[in-house]
């Protein structure tokens, strides 16, 4: 999976500082986590999938794996990807 590949990249000393943009459906999960921390709630038929993603992200944190610099939801907007890359490389 993308997360396991990301973890392998971060664990290698020579690659650990390379910025990573993950193209996934996780961005919304992270935004929902932030909103829930502020007291908002969400209900969705995909809650079990989101919970699995949250557990995966929490496990990465516990293992000391820093999360990617940016998540972009699929389908990819080419302009959004270009702006994300520009933002990372300056």
Give the C-alpha separation, 29 to 60, whole Å: 15
Highest mean pLDDT (candidates 66-70, 71-75, 84-88): 84-88
With 90 as the cut, is the pLDDT of residue 14 above it?
A: yes
The answer to whether the CB of 20 falls within 8 A of the CB of 71 is no
**Helix 47-62 crosses helix 27-37 at what angle (to 10 degrees)?**
90
**In the chain, where the domains are located:** 17-89
Q: Is the pLDDT of residue 79 over 70?
A: yes
Question: CB neighbours (10 Å) of residue 68?
Answer: 20
27 vs 14, residue with greater confidence: 14
Residue 67: both structure tokens together: 């999360």
């Amino acid at each position: 999976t993308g997360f396991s590949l990301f973890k392998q990249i971060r664990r290698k000393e020579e690659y650990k500082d390379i910025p990573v943009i993950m193209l996934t459906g996780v961005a919304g999960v992270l935004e929902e986590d932030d909103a829930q921390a502020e007291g908002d709630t969400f209900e969705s038929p995909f809650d079990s999938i989101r919970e699995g993603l949250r557990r995966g992200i929490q496990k990465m944190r516990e293992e000391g794996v820093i999360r990617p610099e940016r998540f972009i939801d699929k389908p990819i907007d080419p302009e959004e990807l270009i702006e994300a890359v520009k933002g990372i490389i300056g």
